[in-house]
Amino acid sequence: MLEAPLGRLRGIGPGRARALERLGLRTVGDMLEFLPRRYERAGQVRPIAALERQSRDLQRVRGRVAAVGGHRPRPNLHITQAAVQDGTGTLWAIFFNQPYLVERLRPGTDLVLTGRVEIRYGRLEMHNPQYELDPADDDGRGGLLPVYPATAGLSQKVLRASVRQALDVGRDAVEEFLPPALVDRLQLPRRDEAIAGIHFPEDEETLARARRRLAFEELFLLQAALALVRRRYVEDAEGIAHRPDPEALKRFYDALPFTLTRAQRRVVADVLSDMAAPRPMHRLVQGDVGSGKTVVAAAAIFNAVCSGCQAAMMAPTEILAEQHAASLQDLLGRLGVRVELLTGRLPARRREALLEGLASGEVHVLVGTHAVLDRQVTFRRLSLAVTDEQHRFGVRQRALLAAKGFSPDVLVMTATPIPRTLALTLYGDLDVSVINEMPPGRRPVRTRWLRPSQRGQAYRFLAEQVARGRQAYVVCPLVEGSEDGGAKAAVDLHRRLVRKLPHLKAGLLHGRMSGAEKQEVMRAFRDGEISVLVATTVVEVGVDVPNATVMLVEDADRFGLAQLHQLRGRVGRGSAESYCLLIAEPTTPEAEQRLRVMEQVHDGFEIAEQDLRLRGPGEIFGTRQHGLPDLRVADPFRDLELLELARREARRLLEADPRLR
């Protein structure tokens, strides 16, 4: 029955079926899974005389059409007016551009109207109210009416009727797939009950129970999948037990230009102990920007190389990959480790030589972008895979990389400070270590929001810093919907800066430049040949030039909090006092609030939480680029308790039935 096409249902003709198909709804089953976005409380039917005149709430009346007429005040505007009476008064139902209603709402028609009351010239009106012509269908009790997210031109009334029909014929076919014992123990409604309840809940409590069941089911499936992944790559896999070598480790520490923070030492210890175990490591290292994750990766990599193995490190952009290669070269080169960089545009001859070196084991460490995943890349003995800025890599990419080795240890690093709720959803398959301490001598980046009228002041300050031998970033406005990622804005700003302040030696970096050009500009900036880097948000992630002390962001109100925090993280990486100047004329209270948060808050986790509060989970959760799974009912921010329950239950089930037979 669930497979039956909707066109076969009573009351759904070919036209309606086509409209439903545009919503992706073909079968009875599709219709049942088409979940309401919200609910309207229709409220009791009121006598017209008792309508609340001031209220903006939906109100509902039942009456009979006394008169109806239509007119066309402008060529593209048609107005239908129906006078509806119920014996206590008259209400005018006004409809725009639905001329056919003049025919449908003939005098004498009984109907129920739901809408907001408007007073015009002393008249009671409802504009485009919902109307139900078959009031027998309406029990007048009020209750919750589902509101569906998309309509493809269908009214909510039609959608509701279609769902009702689908429920009538399909409900009995809805199968329970959670283990019955689990459903009993957690006192969840059965699946068919929950589906019925989410569409037409009798009351708030039924709705809450239905929602909880469907949210649990979603989180449970996700957690079960993650637990399966984990079992496959961690628990069942035969890994390489890297012998820890205290002497080698000492050489590593001695060669460092600084001593590790306590947090770094703790995380390195977590990592090395994972690596020593015969099972593959599967660990996420979280640390705010600038907390020093690279050196943790370097320690792990050195440990792998000392065990006679190889390591790979993958980064989301070429700039970052290039920079990691340089940092690892710095940290490990003098210890005899050979680090090489592979990007998509390495010349064929050098690429070939590199691939040979990897296959023979002469090259110990490969750093690169997605090119590392290429089928032609083979290692002699890959035992460690590090991925940076994990949020841009999915589970699949991680698995691809892991598949290149003999169940290598996997280390994932992220600077995106995500609250625990999300970490569980995203990384349910990983163990987590947090670097919750900054290297010594770091001072919080002094952050100021300036009005565009103070722009001159901002650039004078920037020039002063440059005069003292410091460097600066100028980040260009985010151009909404621009196809070039803001490249034009960057080019323009760079041109103006060069003309007005030629002595600043400004360079330009944007996503439209070729890889070689980008790399050359970054090198020049790192080597101090350029003092000011005018850039789009391509500098957002991971760029590390400790001599840079000013981050100036133009039109800062257009950036999200997380992004501003990432941008700010590009400075304050040395011991010199650093500054973040946010130039903005915010047009919304939220944008203003973001700027204030930036001025006051420096901790990445706290910023992430403020971000949640300001934007709401939907916004953040709705963006696909975070690699978040597509949840329809559950909200991993609000449903933390349910998420943890789902995680426990999923692991418990897998314990009892490891193959989910």
> How many residues bind ligand ADP, per CB under 6 A?
17
Which residue, 199 or 324, has its beta carbon nearer to ligand ADP? 324
Q: Which residue is nearest to ligand ADP (CB)?
A: 292
The span of 39-47, 167-175, 538-546, 596-604 binding Mg ion (CB under 5 A) equals 538-546
- Of 3, 4, 18, whose CA–CA distance to 158 is shortest? 18
x/- contact string, 567-586, with ligand ADP (CB under 6 A)? ------x-------------
Cα 55 vs. chain centroid, distance in angstroms? 37
Which residue, 113 or 415, has its beta carbon nearer to ligand ADP? 415
Residue selected from 197, 542, 569, 636 as contacting Mg ion according to rule CB under 5 A: 542
Give the count of beta carbons closer than 10 Å to the beta carbon of residue 539. Answer: 24
In the chain, the amino acid numbered 254 is D
Contacts of 189 (CB under 8 A, 6+ apart): 197, 209, 210, 213
Q: Calculate ∠ Cα 402-406-410, nearest 5°.
A: 40
| CA distance linking residue 58 with residue 126, whole number of Å | 10
Which residue, 226 or 418, has its beta carbon nearer to ligand ADP? 418
**Is residue 604 a contact residue for ligand ADP (CB under 6 A)?**
no
Which residue, 522 or 581, has its beta carbon nearer to Mg ion? 522
Q: How far is the CB of 324 from Mg ion (least distance, A)?
A: 8
- In the window 436-455, what residues touch ligand ADP (CB under 6 A)? 439
CA atoms within 13 A on the CB side of 568: 31
The answer to whether 364 touches 311, Cβ cutoff 8 Å, is yes
Contacts of 273 (CB under 8 A, 6+ apart): none
- Of 291, 309, 293, whose CA–CA distance to 301 is shortest? 309
> Which one of ligand ADP, Mg ion, none is in contact with 290 (Cβ closer than 5 to 8 A by kind)?
ligand ADP
Q: How far is the CB of 526 from Mg ion (least distance, A)?
A: 15
**Is residue 471 a contact residue for ligand ADP (CB under 6 A)?**
no
- Of 412, 402, 384, 430, whose CA–CA distance to 241 is shortest? 384
**Is residue 258 a contact residue for ligand ADP (CB under 6 A)?**
yes
- In the window 1-40, what residues touch ligand ADP (CB under 6 A)? none
In the chain, the amino acid numbered 281 is M
**Is residue 486 a contact residue for ligand ADP (CB under 6 A)?**
no
> Which one of Mg ion, ligand ADP, none is in contact with 32 (Cβ closer than 5 to 8 A by kind)?
none
Contacts of 565 (CB under 8 A, 6+ apart): 289, 417, 598, 604, 607
CA atoms within 13 A on the CB side of 24: 7
> Which one of Mg ion, ligand ADP, none is in contact with 560 (Cβ closer than 5 to 8 A by kind)?
none
Which residue, 151 or 436, has its beta carbon nearer to ligand ADP? 436
**Is residue 260 a contact residue for ligand ADP (CB under 6 A)?**
yes
The span of 101-109, 174-182, 256-264, 457-465 binding ligand ADP (CB under 6 A) equals 256-264
- Of 244, 263, 261, 335, whose CA–CA distance to 298 is shortest? 335
The span of 75-83, 260-268, 359-367, 601-609 binding ligand ADP (CB under 6 A) equals 260-268
- In the window 507-566, what residues touch ligand ADP (CB under 6 A)? 544, 546
- In the window 29-88, what residues touch Mg ion (CB under 5 A)? none
- In the window 270-329, what residues touch ligand ADP (CB under 6 A)? 287, 289-295
**Is residue 433 a contact residue for ligand ADP (CB under 6 A)?**
no
Q: How far is the CB of 337 from ligand ADP (least distance, A)?
A: 17
> Which one of ligand ADP, Mg ion, none is in contact with 289 (Cβ closer than 5 to 8 A by kind)?
ligand ADP
Tokens of 208: 């809450």
Q: How far is the CB of 539 from Mg ion (least distance, A)?
A: 13
Give the count of beta carbons closer than 10 Å to the beta carbon of residue 235. Answer: 13
The span of 185-193, 209-217, 425-433, 540-548 binding Mg ion (CB under 5 A) equals 540-548
The span of 40-48, 311-319, 505-513, 542-550 binding Mg ion (CB under 5 A) equals 542-550
DSSP state of 242: P
Spatial strand order of the sheet with 282-287 comes to 339-342, 365-368, 310-314, 382-388, 409-414, 282-287, 431-435
The answer to whether 60 touches 112, Cβ cutoff 8 Å, is yes
**Is residue 201 a contact residue for ligand ADP (CB under 6 A)?**
no
| CA distance linking residue 505 with residue 498, whole number of Å | 7
H-helix or E-strand spanning residue 109: none
> Which one of Mg ion, ligand ADP, none is in contact with 291 (Cβ closer than 5 to 8 A by kind)?
ligand ADP
Q: Which residues bind ligand ADP (CB under 6 A)?
A: 258, 260-261, 264, 287, 289-295, 415, 439, 544, 546, 573
Q: Which residues bind Mg ion (CB under 5 A)?
A: 542
